[in-house]
Amino acid sequence: MIQAKTKNLKNFSTSAERFEGANLLCPGCAHSIIVREVLNATDDHLILGASTGCLEVCTAVYPHTSWDASWIHIGFENGSSAVAGAEAMYKALKNKGRLKQPDRTPKFVAFGGDGATYDIGFQWISGCFERGHDMMYVCLDNEVYANTGGQRSSSTPIGASASTTPSGRISYGEKQNKKDMMAIMAAHGAPYVAQVAPNQWRDMVSKIQKGFATKGPVFINAMSACTTEWKFAPEDTIAISDLATDSLVFPLYEIIDGTKLNITYRPKNVIPVRDYLGAQGRFKHLFTKQYEYLIDEWQTRVDAKWEQLQRREEACL
Amino acid sequence: MADIFELRDIEVWDGNMAASHALRQAQVDVVAAYPITPSTPIVENYASFMANGYIDGEFVMAESEHGAMSCCIGASAAGGRVATATSSQGFALMLETLYSASGMRLPIVLNVVNRAIGAPLNVNGDHSDMYMGRDSGWIQIDCYNPQDVYDMNLVAFRVSEDHDIRLPAMVHQDGFMTSHTAQRVKTLSDDVAYDFIGEFKPMNDMLDLDHPVTHGVQTEEDWHFEHKARQHHALMSAVLPKIQEAFDGLKALTGREYNIVESYTMEDAEIAIVCMGTSVETAQEVSNELRAQGIKAGVVGIRVFRPFPLEQIADVLKGCKAIATLDRSSPNGTVGALYNELAGALFNTGTHAVLTNNIYGLGGRDLTKSSIHTIYRDLQANAQAGSPTTPLQQFIGLRGPKLSFF
């Protein structure tokens, strides 16, 4: 059944959903695309969790829910631990013979934004991965605290204008480079760590399925283009995502057992980083005489990272 | 299947060991915990039981108390019996999630080994953490010795998991004074203890794959008030009767009697001390000495701190002329919490009792019998005068110049 579902985009986009279209996410929000792609990648039962953030506040406002699978939210920092606790209970009840449907094995998935993942919830995720819970953690990485109005996170890239690091007469906005969460999670020795983008849906589905087939903690960093805070038109979500993956600003790769790195998408035509930055309002101020040097620095940084990824991939061969 | 642990009828256990055995006998499905003095031995003992085949549930050693309670919440929502333990700073770190657990109506049992909260850092017992939890929506049951700890844990599971209640419960004991002081504890066999608690009956369990549930939703001004009111209603209406029922059951089973308000020689008492934790037994000893001198002294121990048994307390104290509350937590700008509760309980009851407040024992400072004698002497003077003869709030056992307020 799952093969038929993921054969082509039409089947995939119309397959039975456990995440309802009835939600409060912004038109053009990539979160809903990613969540559907994750949930539709398996036929197994799902036990889901979310940290406080856009996804949570837009999908479970009493008396409504968008989730047709068990789902839990506690707070901003502990979506990972909530799901880990449920996974521990599953193991306990299985061991004690008290599962209501002992013939079925659910999958455990926690969702969190980059605020919940890179910043406030980092310790909890680290704990869950060190302890080896059999779960998948999916970061919906839109590089900003979008739910609360666009404050910077440690995933916000340098030069982006965010509400707590705005660009201005004497500032180009965010001063820090984006935290390398992929490397940090791989350093936990997690059996599977992967970066995905919803526009590359085949690549994404194959990684999610690989993740579901993996025993132990799986980390997925999913780029989630944010129409509201990145400032682009709602209908351009996939186009912006294409610019991100094809400029290599957001390279798609996986790291297995903390060491073996595979690049999973090589754009036929690599486009300049300038094109990606220029398509978003959050980088608008960089296209001035004062800050234009930052665009060149961006390109140099992206080139260096791509070079590094390729070297690491070669080193594993 | 976990092995049976053969217990003697009477064991010599400290409060921590009593809690560990109660959790083992409850056959808890998931314990997620983070060690902190003085509650650490509860989880260490539990880990040792596990390592030796006496536990068949899951044991998650979390990376912090916040992570531990977060796992407990996820586990409880998944549908099984859950418990943990903490103290002091760990309790403070957990606090955010304590409100989540009660708001999500999850029956988790938390052993709180009471300890001071820094700064200054202090590992010894006072009631700062217990007081910090008093608005969190949990049931709070207080223990005076290791026997209480054992029995109240069994009671806590039974009450907390009742489908009419579905609220988490804290079992409090004094750090070191109870947690590390070995005393005689009368035990139940594993099967009798488990039968007393009963099997866990899941409700809205995430792991019922045919009936998906959403836990931890958002409610704003349209529904938040109704949810909180229903939670309070459950706490106020269902808990005390169920606790009494459990106490009755325990008495029938063991002969040990517990009461929602533990009154001691209060029938004709004119002066009374109201306190919590290990101080209750110390005060009882002093009141015995005073009774031998013909002084009508009594002691009221708070057994159930939340929900606070307003009416029962007022009833026990109705004949008193002077009452002193003992608060073992820095009041930080007002009267002690117990004083406030008592004032609330007694107001509108027609009592003319003089009510005073004593702050004592912060950071593990001993409460001596001599200090309690002094408090009773003040009470006698207050009773005779019909008005306070001392400042309303006094700090007792404090070095340096006398400190008092109001």
pLDDT single digits (tens) A271-294? 999 999 999 999 999 999 999 999
The DSSP annotation for A203-264 comes to HHHHHHHHHHHSSS-EEEEEE---IIIII--GGGHHHHHHHHHHTTSS--EEEETTTEEEE-
Kindly report the CATH number assigned to the domain that includes residue B158: 3.40.50.970
Q: Where are the beta strands (DSSP E) in chain A?
A: 46-50, 70-73, 107-113, 136-141, 167-168, 171-172, 192-196, 218-223, 253-256, 260-263
- Asked which of B254, B281, B314 is the last residue of a domain, the reply is B254
Residue A249 CB contacts under 8 Å (≥ 6 apart), including other chains: A243, A273, A276, A298, A302
Residue A235 CB contacts under 8 Å (≥ 6 apart), including other chains: A28
- Asked which of B254, B284, B317 is the last residue of a domain, the reply is B254
Picking from B23, B28, B71 by the largest number of A CB atoms within 10 A of its own CB, the best residue to mutate is B71
Residue type, B39: S
Min Cα–Cα distance to chain B from A84, Å = 6
H or E segment and range at residue B355: strand B354-359
Q: Could you give the maximum distance between any two Cα atoms of chain B, in Å?
A: 70
Closest to B80 in 3D by CA, of A79, A134, A93, A94: A93
Residue A95 CB contacts under 8 Å (≥ 6 apart), including other chains: B56, B57, B58
DSSP helix/strand/coil, B193 = helix
Residue at B3 is within a domain: no
CB B153 within 8 A of CB B26: yes
Q: Exposure of B21 by Cβ count < 10 A (0-12 exposed, 13-18 middle, 19+ buried)?
A: buried
The DSSP annotation for B160-189 comes to HT-TTT---EEEEEETTTTTT--EEEE---
A7 falls in which pLDDT band (50, 70, 90)? Answer: confident
Q: Is B60 on the interface with A (CB under 8 A)?
A: yes
Picking from A20, A52, A70 by the largest number of B CB atoms within 10 A of its own CB, the best residue to mutate is A70
Closest to B30 in 3D by CA, of B142, B107, B139: B107
**Cβ pair A89:B79 closer than 8 A:** yes
CB A156 within 8 A of CB A217: no
Residue at B48 is within a domain: yes
Residue at A10 is within a domain: no
DSSP helix/strand/coil, B12 = strand
Same domain, residue pair B189 and B233: yes
Residue at A9 is within a domain: no
Digit-coded pLDDT (tens) for A129-155: 999 999 999 999 999 999 999 999 999
Domain count, chain A: 1
Same domain, residue pair B202 and B305: no
What is the token pair recorded at B397? 């056992």
Same domain, residue pair B87 and B226: yes
Picking from B31, B217, B219, B223 by the largest number of A CB atoms within 10 A of its own CB, the best residue to mutate is B217
pTM for this model (two decimals): 0.97
Question: CA-CA distance, B68 to B82, in Å (whole number)?
Answer: 11
Q: Is A56 on the interface with B (CB under 8 A)?
A: yes
Residue at A12 is within a domain: no
Question: CA-CA distance, B358 to B335, in Å (whole number)?
Answer: 9
What is the token pair recorded at B365? 């400072």
> What percent of chain A lies above the pLDDT cut of 70?
97
Pairing mode, strands A167-168 and A107-113: unpaired
| A282 DSSP assignment | G
Closest partner CB to A74 (pick from B63, B216, B223): B216
Residue at A281 is within a domain: yes
Min Cα–Cα distance to chain A from B259, Å = 34
Q: What's the average model confidence in pLDDT over A252-270?
A: 97
**Cβ pair A89:B208 closer than 8 A:** no
Does residue A16 have a pLDDT over 90?
no
Q: At what angle do helices B15-25 and B190-197 cross, to 10 degrees?
A: 70
Same domain, residue pair B202 and B283: no
Check whether the bond before B307 is cis (ω within 30° of 0).
Answer: yes
Residue at B2 is within a domain: no
**Cβ pair B58:A91 closer than 8 A:** yes
Q: Is B58 on the interface with A (CB under 8 A)?
A: yes
Residue B317 CB contacts under 8 Å (≥ 6 apart), including other chains: B266, B272, B274, B300, B323, B342, B345, B346, B351, B353
Residue at A4 is within a domain: no
A4 falls in which pLDDT band (50, 70, 90)? Answer: low
How does the average pLDDT of chain A come out, rounded? 96
A9 falls in which pLDDT band (50, 70, 90)? Answer: confident
Q: What's the average model confidence in pLDDT over A125-130?
A: 98
Contacts for B195-199: CB closer than 8 Å, 24+ residues apart: B196/B154, B196/B158, B196/B249, B196/B250, B196/B253, B197/B25, B197/B26, B197/B154, B197/B157, B197/B158, B198/B158, B198/B161
Min Cα–Cα distance to chain A from B209, Å = 7
Kindly report the CATH number assigned to the domain that includes residue B323: 3.40.50.920
Q: Is B80 on the interface with A (CB under 8 A)?
A: yes
Min Cα–Cα distance to chain A from B60, Å = 8
Q: Is B214 on the interface with A (CB under 8 A)?
A: yes
Closest partner CB to B58 (pick from A65, A78, A92): A92
Same domain, residue pair B248 and B305: no
Residue at B107 is within a domain: yes
Kindly report the CATH number assigned to the domain that includes residue A133: 3.40.50.970
**Cβ pair B209:A123 closer than 8 A:** no
Same domain, residue pair B168 and B188: yes
**CB atoms near residue B401 (< 10 Å):** 6
Q: Which residue has the tokens 């657990």?
A: B101
Same domain, residue pair B280 and B232: no
- Asked which of B199, B226, B254 is the last residue of a domain, the reply is B254
Q: Exposure of B230 by Cβ count < 10 A (0-12 exposed, 13-18 middle, 19+ buried)?
A: exposed
Q: What is the mean pLDDT of each run of 10 residues along chain B (406 residues)?
A: 94 98 98 98 98 97 98 98 98 98 98 98 97 98 98 98 98 98 98 98 97 97 97 96 98 98 98 98 98 98 98 96 98 97 95 96 97 98 98 97 95
C-alpha angle with apex A109: A246 to A76, nearest 5 degrees?
A: 90
What is the token pair recorded at A90? 């599953």
CB A244 within 8 A of CB A276: yes
Question: CA-CA distance, A3 to A11, in Å (whole number)?
Answer: 10
Question: CA-CA distance, A15 to A40, in Å (whole number)?
Answer: 7
Does residue A44 have a pLDDT over 60?
yes
The DSSP annotation for A66-85 comes to -BSSEEEE--SS-HHHHHHH
What is the token pair recorded at A48? 């889901």
Residue at B401 is within a domain: yes
Q: How big is chain A by its Cα radius of gyration, in Å?
A: 19
Give the residue numbers spanning the domain of A247: 19-316
Residue at B1 is within a domain: no
Give the residue numbers spanning the domain of B392: 261-405
A1 falls in which pLDDT band (50, 70, 90)? Answer: low
Domain count, chain B: 2
Closest to B46 in 3D by CA, of B36, B59, B64: B59
C-alpha distances out from residue B124 to B175, B177, B301, Å? 6, 9, 21
Q: What is the pLDDT of residue B92?
A: 98
Same domain, residue pair B247 and B268: no
Question: CA-CA distance, A132 to A189, in Å (whole number)?
Answer: 10
Closest partner CB to B70 (pick from A67, A90, A124): A124
What is the token pair recorded at B390? 């001392």
Interface of A with B in 123-162 (CB under 8 A): 123-124, 126-127, 130-131
Q: Is B332 on the interface with A (CB under 8 A)?
A: no
Tally: H helices and E strands in chain A: 12, 10
ipTM score for this prediction: 0.97
Residue at A189 is within a domain: yes
Q: Is B370 on the interface with A (CB under 8 A)?
A: no
Q: Exposure of A298 by Cβ count < 10 A (0-12 exposed, 13-18 middle, 19+ buried)?
A: buried
Q: Is B213 on the interface with A (CB under 8 A)?
A: yes
Q: What is the pLDDT of residue B202?
A: 97
Q: Exposure of B9 by Cβ count < 10 A (0-12 exposed, 13-18 middle, 19+ buried)?
A: exposed
